[in-house]
Chain A
Amino acid sequence: MKRLLLGDEAIALGAIHASLGGVYAYPGTPSTEITEFIQNDPLARSQGIRSRWCTNEKTAMEAALGMSYAGKRALVCMKHVGMNVCADAFVNSAITGVNGGLVVIAADDPSMHSSQNEQDSRFYGKFALVPVFEPTTQQEAYDLIAQAFDFSEANKVPVLFRIVTRLSHSRAEVELREPVRHEPLPLAQDKGWILLPAIARRQYAALLDKQSAFAQASEEAAVLEGGGSGLGVIACGIAYNYVRESGADVTILKVNRYPLPEKKVRELAAACERIIVVEDGQPVAEQDVRGILGPQYKVFGRLTGDLPRTGELTPDNVASALGCSSGKRLAVPGPVAARPPQLCPGCGHRDVYNALNAVAAEYPGARIFGDIGCYTLGALPPFKSLSSCVDMGASITMAKGAADAGVFPAIAVIGDSTFTHSGMTGLLDAVNDGANITVVISDNLTTAMTGGQDSAGTSKYEAICTALGVSPEHVRVVIPTAPNMPEITRIIREEIEYRGVSVIIPRRECMQTLRRKNKK
């Protein structure tokens, strides 16, 4: 049976068909659709696969490790920067090892279509000494996820499964297989899970001992194809598709697993005069290939400028690097203006920024620190309200640090879901330090940017803030609409003038989720 699936959906279905016990994730483009698919799939539901959204990537990673400890197969999904959030748990899960199969999906976003950076998650695989799988196509994604679970269980190690935007968000037909019923393993009994130094040293040595098995598996998975000109191509993940699209007469080493298959790389080098490394993201494999082949062998790629150092691969930049560019392009024949994304008409964040701008104009020293979500668009015209946007939760802590240095008023704007993801601990710091900041939790009752997933703290925000020590009279709730503007601006002024931590919660449902509800 065949089915048209997004890369994300192919991974989800592949995991369901490989006897998944639970998925743990926080939404993030381009990974969100994996978990959403599992949440809505009838087979996943009938099997009781655990799939609710988690508060952040770290809680997700740890809960998945717990499920693995208990003997079931667990999947963790996140966008690339989520790896930074769960890095502590991820790196140490390689030291404990796993019981039930544990696969961690990192969806990288080269070209930053919907991200703040284009970090390459394969570095995390090298860093943590875990095997990395990187599928080429939707079909391979579906097939490889089952292999990843088997490999994880057989080698007692988490597998990092790396994808990129163009695989996540592209549809193709996938041939499905019969779902496998796989009995959960017995509960883990060994002491390797207790990472006291004496045990951790043993575990780390054991992880190093497994490396040759990982390398051997990569050798077996890599495929040498064609016997063209003197040019050899190492094609990693989806890069293979662009190399084939170009029609270039070359010898290809198709790589979908790391550590890089060293023997196959040497074989390719021996058969060719020079090698170009084609990989989406950062030059991770290219650096390894240089190390393997030494300075005498000619290796090209992103580091030499034959492929662009930044941005995603395209069929065009790959064809050009392989010397078979078509070249002919029509010009844009008329006037075209940029059309950046913007907050939806009627969105409550709009009223929040109108109010903040009105009050901030009265304070020449005012700085508004932003965060990650739809409301980051408040940095663009017509609002231009924000001075920063760095990472999940940084609005509160940057405002605090700036206030420590004398900035007044120091205002943080953070969304409801981002606040529970990574804002709460920063708010506790601010309370404990008596920081003079005003925190705006712009609550639209959902995780809006990624398409309206449940927000972990809905209906709990006032209680969370007061429990963290914000005084109840300085936790103010408003409804962000134009008629309420006088009240909202008055409250913002009052809380700016209060010398301490105050929290203002403008609360109104997201226009997108409201529209969907009204349709039903």
Chain B
Amino acid sequence: MKQDIILCGVGGQGILSIATVIAQAATAAGLHIKQAEVHGMSQRGGDVQSDLRLSTDEIFSDLIPDGSADLIISMEPMEALRYIPRLNAGGAVVSAAEPLVNIPDYPDQNEILRALSALPHAEVREISRIAREAGNPKGSNMVLLGIASKYIGILPAAALREAITVIFAAKGQDIIDANLRAFDLGAGNGL
């Protein structure tokens, strides 16, 4: 069994933290993992993307072949669209609804949301609103991970929750709890 995930967003939105949590959970579960990320110039407010591969068998390529990703997790709606050619025909898209407009020619937002919701398996949610509801306005990325958790079939949600407690352990119990609340609200588990 394997699962190929594209993580994407804009530099500074925290996609690498999502990758770190999933990677921790996968490591604890004894899965094989490869995770390619982008450093350097593009981290300055440009589009950023990470290929995350989880498998029960050996993984060869660090990059996911085009047209074969099982899931796109995007912190930004236009960025989700950008990587659709990486997705397989039955793949799912989980994306933030809120646009990050930092370029002058950002396209019509409604058109972007229409294109996303027309996809066969897409879940587009207002993650910053949910993060505020969870009392953790900086936890949008953990909300998104919560929403995505039901599509990450290779790992149970409990494994991701456990990984959050490990990754944020150094920052204290309050930060762990805030991130778990964000994750749970995203996952639809209530508070």
Contacts and interface: CB of A to CB of B under 8 A. Distances in A.
Interface string A1-33: 010100000000000000000000000011011
A316 B38 contact: no
B34 A333 contact: no
Contact of A314 (B60, B63, B112): B63
A395 B10 CA distance: 30
Contacts of A374: 44
A331 interface: yes
Interface in A171-203: 171-173
Contact of A326 (B36, B40, B68, B78): B68
B177 interface: no
Interface string B91-118: 0000000000011111110011011101
Contacts of A32: 39
B84 A335 contact: no
Given A329-B85, A330-B87, A29 B41 contact: yes
Nearest to B105: A337
A330 B11 contact: no
Interface residues of A, number: 49
A166 B62 contact: yes
B3 to A, nearest CB: 16
A469 interface: no
Contacts, number: 151
B61 A332 contact: no
A320 B68 CA distance: 15
A336 interface: yes
B39 A332 contact: no
Contacts of B78: 335-337, 339
Interface stretch (A67-75, A120-128, A237-245, A475-483): A237-245
Given A173-B27, A337-B105, A328 B67 contact: yes
B23 A30 contact: no
Nearest to B45: A342
A332 B68 contact: no
Interface of B: 10-11, 23-24, 27, 32-47, 59-68, 78-79, 81-82, 84-85, 87, 89, 102-108, 111-112, 114-116, 118-119
5 contacts: A170-B62, A330-B87, A344-B45, A374-B44, A451-B39
